[in-house]
Amino acid sequence: MEDSQKQVCAWINDNRHRSIKLLKKMVEQRSVQGNEASAQAVVLEKCRQLSLDIDLWEPGGKALKQHPHFVATRTSFKDSPNIVGVMKGTGGGRSVILNGHVDVVPEGDLKQWEVDPYQAVVKDNRLYGRGSTDMKGGNVCLLMAIEAIKASGISLKGDVIFQSVIEEESGGAGTLAAILRGYKADAAIVPEPTKMKIFQKQQGSMWFRLKVKGRSAHGGTRYEGVSAIEKTTLVVEHLLELEQKRNKRITDPLYQTIPIPVPINIGKIEGGTWPSSVADLVTLEGRCGIAPNEKIEDVQAEFQVWIDELSSKDEWFKEHPAELEWFGARWLPNEIDGTHPLTEALSKAYADILGREPVIEASPWGTDAGLLSHAGGIPSIVFGPGETEMAHFPNEFIDIDQMISCTKVIAAFILDWCEVSE
């Protein structure tokens, strides 16, 4: 291992307690949508300590809201700031964006939590709390990697652009705002919880709404009506067939460990107005996965054709077709070649630090890497600490040893990618 790597890794080991302290402070902030300011205040203070060139702003404006990739579930980002901190290089080296989101999903049913989701409890080498894995632990890796390099007195040729963004959990408006603000780089790393696997491909996804119609009647003579609830069971079965059809086409070996590479999930059902009436309308809302090599428009067209084919299974749908609508959040897919310099550099850093080759897979969910790639033209990879299956779960936690190892790998990558300035 080169001297600069050894020096930086030693600093990270010696300052493990500082990584834990920073993560605790971040997790203690309940940064759900619209409430990100307190967590960003923690990030802002850290960026000031690191003497980064800081840019703090609330996303908004016509350029953002009229962008073809803009999606949002709210109309204003007031009191929900983005933060970018830049460590300027001396010139001549490659630049990198280190992008992490500060927003978290709500904690859900507190009865399912064994600890307070915002107490940041440390137990058995794990830090528990909402956002510890998704993805404040990854953000800490980015900040501590930067601090390790600065504290070791190492200057870089290329710029390091740290981004703490909002709104990833609702479609990525924060990252899109950073792109439109002019932040570009030769590569980007998004430290979502991959369990230290390198995700060089990721699925995208988008939300859909289906309205299934029936005909109302008294429950005592339900045979005079047509139950939208009963018709909905046929719609659900039909969607599962589409899911099977779409996933049979995916033969990419990077998806071989993922049972359903691009799922179609129904997450919400509403229907009926009265227990003694036949339901005349059911609304389904769900999420449709998008393969890395697919275009959103093509997936939407295939979905619509499939819904139209319901009429071949049931005469009712000929006169009363299910209505399809695309709404709300959307995440772009992304892929990068295995021989791309970014993949090779990150893989080398991983091997240098951990003494083994990384596992390279495809992501089962969407991230802001899709926006960085498609809207920003920036080659992007997803790589970070934390158990993939713990994201959005009760009793969410992150393994502290893994977070420290990830910090070292990212620091080693930065040293190589941006180049040490003599």
Please count the other Cβ atoms lying within 10 Å of the Cβ belonging to residue 90. 15
Catalytic residue among 103, 134, 280, 399: 103
Contact 190, 99 (CB under 8 A): yes
H/E run at residue 303: helix 296-308
**Does position 287 have pLDDT exceeding 90, yes or no?**
yes
Annotated catalytic, 399? no
Average pLDDT over the chain reads 96
**Does position 368 have pLDDT exceeding 60, yes or no?**
yes
pTM listed for this prediction:
0.92
Annotated catalytic, 103? yes
Residue 265 is encoded by which pair of tokens?
Answer: 């999930």
What's the confidence (pLDDT) of residue 2? 80
Strand partners for 211: 283, 323
**Does position 6 have pLDDT exceeding 90, yes or no?**
yes
What's the confidence (pLDDT) of residue 1? 52
Residue 363 is encoded by which pair of tokens?
Answer: 């992501």
Displacement of CA 416 from its chain's centroid (Å): 26
Catalytic residue among 36, 168, 368, 396: 168
